Amino acid sequence: MSDPPTGSEPEPEAGGFWASKTGLVTIAFLLIAAFFLLIEHRAHTFGVLPFLLLLACPLLHMSHHGHRGHGSHTHKETKPGAQDGTNHLKGA
C-alpha cells in the first residue's frame, strides 16, 4: 500500500500564473512601473494621444463587423403582390 501524499509537494493552483503569488507581485510591479513612467513622461504621453485617437479610427473600422459589413446586404427579388409585405419592385 502506498501512503497518501504528505503535502511536501505544492499543489498546482487552478488560476494559473497570474493568480499565483508570483503573478500578483509581477502585476503590482508592472502597475507601479507604468504609473511612474506615465508621471515622469507626461508631456510625451499626452502629446501622442491625438495621434492614437486618429490611429484608432481605422483600426476600429476594420474590426467592426456589425450591421452585416459593407456590401453584404442582399435584396430578395419579390414578385408583385407578394404576401411578405416587402415588395422591392414597386416604386413606393
Contacts of 64 (CB under 8 A, 6+ apart): none
User: Alpha-carbon dihedral of residues 20, 23, 25, 27, nearest 10 degrees?
Assistant: -140
* pLDDT recorded at residue 30: 97
pLDDT in tens, the chain (92 residues): 566 666 566 665 567 998 999 999 999 999 999 999 989 999 888 888 899 999 998 888 888 766 555 555 555 555 565 555 555 555 55
